[in-house]
Amino acid sequence: MKCPCCKKENPAHPQICPFCGYDATALYEPATSRAGKAAVASFVLAILSFFAFLITAIPSIILACIALREIRRTPDRLKGKRLAIASIILSVFTSLVIPPALYSLWRLDAPPIPNDYTIADLRSAPANCAESYRLLQSLCVEDPRAEAGSEIGLSEEDVEMIADLWETASDPGDPKAVKALRYDEEASELMWKKTKEARAVLAKLAGFAEIADLSDSRFESSLGPMNIIILAKLNRAYLYLQIDRGDSQLCVKELGELDSVVRKLAVNARFQIVKIACFVCLSSDITAANTIANTHNVSQESLELLATHFAPLADEATSMRNSLLSEYLLFKEIAVGSTEDAYAPRIASSFKRNSTLRLYRNYADSYLATLDGKEVKATDAFSVWPSAYRGLYPVSFRPGEKLPIMYRCYNPGGSFLMKMTNLRFDEAFVRGKKLGIEDDLLQIVLAKRLGRPVSLKARAYGGEYIVDVKGKKIFSPGPDGKADTKDDIKLPINPGVLGWEE
């Protein structure tokens, strides 16, 4: 008889065709119309390949080929030839067409930010103040390998000694602190002599109307503020010793010069590290000024001069606006560089520059809105997605929180860069608010000492500041709103000197 498959003559009643392998026993079984299991499985995998691509597409093609072979051998028993062919077509389509299309969509970046911030948006000083910043840089650590204090003639041991003196002078009015400073009098005098040239620079800087960094948008200049803090610490310790000696006039003069420089720098400070350094110095100066105001043997002339030097701090001195914009512009410069360097071809697809900048810009804008007392609206934020990704949810960034998994998959390079960037402005905001309250408390003390009208109205954490005559302090209850807790913001007072008696 002829083989139904290859049509060649075979012996009578063969079990399997010797030419094509056709199973002749199928002739004696009833024909069915069911599709083969391999064909069905291949089609299921082909459908799944729309989502898993090659992971299921390759097994689908293999199973489809097996199914076609089985169907060819037993055409009267198995069906599903069209199903197997469709599986092959779908699998090839999902392997060769969809992945490149999706990759092209994945590589899309968000549009550039229109009218983005520039260096012109920073608060700065007039051009004639450029020399002020060069003078200030002569006091500061520029080389990260240099030891703190080296630019102002101090060794590492000197810096440690000044830190010890500052800690000793941290509690004005404490007899033990006075005794300790007297014991270290020679060390204080030696450190004061060693920093004579640095203090001469401060005297020159005090003559400028403003102090600011006027470098270009490349942010090539930097300011390591450590030495300014060291000078502020030495200043407080040395002046505390002079108060004990009764030389309040020298105290007011030296303290006024240092504070004047730091205030002018704080107003125009660009980077967060410089701003925080200014906060530390200003807080130390306020403590020293408060000590002078609470001392018996201070002349009226010195008190008047002290009040002139320590006029209420300008809001810009405690505002973080300049720092936020500066850090954003620096981040923008880094982002541009990362797409222009030698490794750009490798990272361009995984780092979406515009999307990353939009994410950072939204973060900065939300803080700026908070500073201005405005309500932050989600609709005002820039979309971090390409224009082709219409309808996707907004993405916001908060330090310490993970970005959504979908955004991390879309922009892995940008997500990593945001994670590595130090965007923790919360501490700086808290420091700024605390400094503003300390300045309020000093203004109350100075007004009381000079016999001027006193207002205890508080800027935050309650309606009024609290005068504790028994505890010899004036304070704000701090963020928790409770008195005599760790977060109290306070200045020590001498009730007898200020006229606050029980």
For residue 111, the model assigns a pLDDT of 92
pLDDT over 80 (residue 99)? no
pLDDT, tens digit (0-9, with 9 covering 90-100), for 156-193: 888 888 888 777 766 655 656 666 666 677 888 888 88
The answer for 472, left when phi > 0, alpha when psi is -120 to 50, beta otherwise, is: left
Cβ neighbours of 429 (radius 10 Å): 16
pLDDT, tens digit (0-9, with 9 covering 90-100), for 30-64: 444 455 777 778 788 778 777 776 777 778 788 87
Among the residue ranges 90-99, 216-225, 423-432, the one predicted with the least confidence is: 216-225
% residues pLDDT > 70 (the chain)? 81
The Cα–Cα gap between 499 and 497 comes to 6
Find the mean pLDDT for residues 394-405.
Answer: 85
pLDDT, tens digit (0-9, with 9 covering 90-100), for 221-278: 455 677 888 888 888 888 877 777 777 777 788 888 889 999 999 998 888 888 888 9
**In this structure, what token pair is assigned to residue 431?**
């420091």
pLDDT, tens digit (0-9, with 9 covering 90-100), for 111-131: 999 999 988 888 888 888 888
**Are 389 and 367 spatial neighbours (Cβ–Cβ below 8 Å)?**
no
Tell me, letter by letter, the H, E, C secondary structure of 371-415. HCCCCCCHHHCCCCCCCCCCCCCCCCCCCCCCCCHHHHHHCHHHH
